Amino acid sequence: MVGKVKMSVFSVKFQKLWLLALSFMAFSSYADKSEQRYVVLAPHIVEMLFDLGVGQRIVGATAHSDYPEEAKSIPLVGNYARLKIENILAYKPDVIFAWHSGNPSDDLQRLQQLGLNIVYSHTGDLENVAKELIEFGDIVGKPQRAKQIADEYLTQLAALRQKYSAKKPVKVFYELWSRPLTTVANSAWPQHHVTLCGGQNVFTGLIGDYPQIGLEQVVALKPQVIIQPMSDGEPNPDAVNWAQWPKIPAAKNKLIFEVNSDKLHRMTRRVLGEIDNLCSKIDIARQVYN
């Protein structure tokens, strides 16, 4: 009996969601691109759409969507752990921009089952930012603007690659998070930045893109540079004080640097300026060890 009651409650709730979805589809069939409404489920996509000049069309976003300043006033419809499905449907979006890596898969599946128009961002290499700008530009009706900024981005990226391509390798430890102690490896987004700068990640051989590690492993591998990304929106007050381990070359030579993760960890064109900053810090270490 209890099972039947639970199933009945679920059925009623699903029916309500389905009716909202039908209402959404009826609404969206009449909207042209200049009148489209977007729900955007990742901060980097919010930033991209503002870059394309359609930020005013965003009716819902997720936590940490804080750039540009206007983005802070967008109503929130969830975070990386949970989405507010009913709120999303109530906004009647024509397109939902989502991110497999940063959104709960079960909520995305429910939205998919309700027949909503979902476009996904796919984290890849640095060139992928330009590709997504072009893709999203076509979707929102801004193809010329998208091509312009994508071309500018690729030109700046090529210049960075040329600037640092012949640099001497430096052993780098990237402290993504401190509790639990987590780093980057393999295809992780920040790994591309370290590689571009000529950094040799001491943990690149581990399994997975964002492996958890132990303090003793860092000490044993003796990185020459330690990078500690910091965010205004999500600070890391427990960042490890590596000065306690003077056997680590980075600690001994005071080559422990902070970078802006709000820029560095988002797949937007702002990343290039912060990559250049990261590379400049690694260059300081080269001068020490030469």
Q: Does a structural domain hold residue 157?
A: no
Q: Is residue 158 part of a domain?
A: no
Residues 80 and 9 grouped into a single domain:
yes
Summarised one tens digit per residue, pLDDT across range 240-276 is 999 999 999 999 999 999 999 999 999 999 999 999 9
Q: Of 120, 148, 176, which closes a domain?
A: 148
Determine, yes or no, domain membership for 155.
Answer: no
Distance (Å, rounded) from C-alpha 149 to C-alpha 139? 16
Distance of CA 65 to the CA centre of its chain: 11
Give me the amino acid identity at 223: P
The residue out of 117, 148, 179 marking a domain boundary is 148
Is 161 inside a domain boundary? no
Q: At residue 43, does pLDDT exceed 80?
A: yes
206 and 130 co-located in one domain:
no
| Count of C-beta atoms within a 10 Å radius of residue 289 | 13
Q: Which of 82, 114, 148 is the last residue of a domain?
A: 148
Asked if the model's pLDDT at residue 163 lies above 80, the reply is yes
Q: Is residue 160 a part of any domain in this protein?
A: no
Euclidean distance between the first and final Cα of the chain, in Å?
Answer: 76
Report if residue 276 sits inside a domain: yes
Q: Which domain holds residue 126?
A: 2-148
Q: What is the mean pLDDT of the chain?
A: 90
Summarised one tens digit per residue, pLDDT across range 63-92 is 999 999 999 999 999 999 999 999 999 999
User: 95-99 and 38-40: which strand pairing?
Assistant: parallel
| 272/206 same-domain check | yes
In CATH, what number is assigned to the domain containing residue 69?
3.40.50.1980
- Are 17 and 144 part of one and the same domain? yes
Number of domains within the chain: 2
Residues 27 and 131 in one domain: yes
Please report whether residue 159 resides in a domain: no
Predicted confidence at residue 123, as pLDDT, reads: 80
- 136, 171: one domain: no
CB neighbour class for 54 (10 Å; exposed up to 12, middle 13-18, buried from 19): buried
Entry pTM:
0.87
